[in-house]
A = this chain, B = another copy of it.
Amino acid sequence: MAVRENDLVLLVSLDDGVRLVARVTRGARISTIRGFINADELIGVGYGSIVRTSLGHEVAILRPSPVDILMERGERVTQVIYPKDAAQIIMSTGIGPGTIVAEAGVGSGFMTAFLAYYVRPNGKVYGFDKRRENLEVARRNLSMLGLLDYVELELRDVITEGFNINNTDVVLLDLGDPWNAIPNATQALKPSGYLVVYVPTINQVLKVLDKMRELKYADIKMMDVTVREWKTKTNEVRPNTWINAHTGYVIIGRKTIR
């Protein structure tokens, strides 16, 4: 498979592993920290090939994953849910092809994108946010990934206005005061469905758990996820020194009916 005009490509330096996701725009130069590459020279080159920068350094030309694209080039206007947490949420709730998910708030749309990627081709993500600028950023990020067909974005404050859908498989809340949104989220959720709440502090955790217990959620689980990345150089295999050791707590419960 060969690089085409307008592709997003992942360039990885063979010298030091530095990574870069770039758009292959005809006539443009792609700058790396060790020289540049003319985009035109990449068109038609097979993915997986090694090319040289203007300074002679070798770079692998790879197809980026959705995670690569978002993390390297996604616009951020808010704190985002990281792939490590997204992966765990998706796996723990059985989100997959066909799942219907509601998400409030969308923020920069990173989680929206991960959800959209996994509910394809026949599922749908309904994304709500009360800030228009967030939705615009999210729309651009989703568009960059080609995922807009699987998402409905709506300007809406779910705490005061409620969700305008129901019978969803999963509702995900990424809000500062999610406990205030849990009653409406419960309306939007089908019985046995998954409520997922993502919060960074233990002050919030206690309020969320209280509200979920009050509304009779079952199988309430909470977890935090740590992914430790390692250096993999020949004679220096060891965990990275500094890691992002805390992003947020994931709380998951199941809606019950009486």
What residues of chain A have their CB less than 8 Å away from a CB belonging to chain B?
A: 1, 10, 12, 14, 17, 19, 46-50, 60-63, 65-67, 83-84, 86-88, 90-94, 96-97, 114, 117-118, 120-122, 190-193, 200-203, 205-206, 209-210, 213, 218-230, 232, 234-247, 249, 251, 254-258
Judged by DSSP, the binding face of A is: mixed
Least CB distance from A135 to B in Å reads 24
Contact indicator B67/A92 (Cβ below 8 Å): yes
Which residue from B218, B232, B234, B242 sits with its C-beta under 8 Å from A221? B232
Neighbouring B residues of A60 by C-beta, 8 Å: 218-219, 254, 256
Q: Bound complex: CA of A120 vs CA of B122, how far in Å?
A: 11
A122 to B98, CA, bound (A): 13
Which residues does chain B contribute within 8 Å of A65, judged by CB atoms? 92-94
User: Cα distance A136–B178 when bound, in Å?
Assistant: 46
Q: How many copies does the complex hold?
A: 4
- Which of A86, A93, A192, A254 is most buried by chain B, counting CB atoms within 10 A of its CB? A192
Chain B residues in 8 Å Cβ range of A240: 245-246
Cβ contact of A10, chosen from B206, B219, B242, cutoff 8 A:
B219
Q: A14's contact among B218, B234, B257, by CB below 8 Å, is which?
A: B218
Q: In the complex, which of the residues B12, B121, B203 contacts A235, with contact meaning CB atoms closer than 8 Å?
A: B203
- In the complex, the answer to whether A227 meets B88 with C-beta atoms within 8 Å is yes
Residues from chain B with Cβ under 8 Å of A87 in the complex: 87-88, 90-91
Q: Which of B62, B213, B232 contacts A234 (CB 8 A)?
A: B213
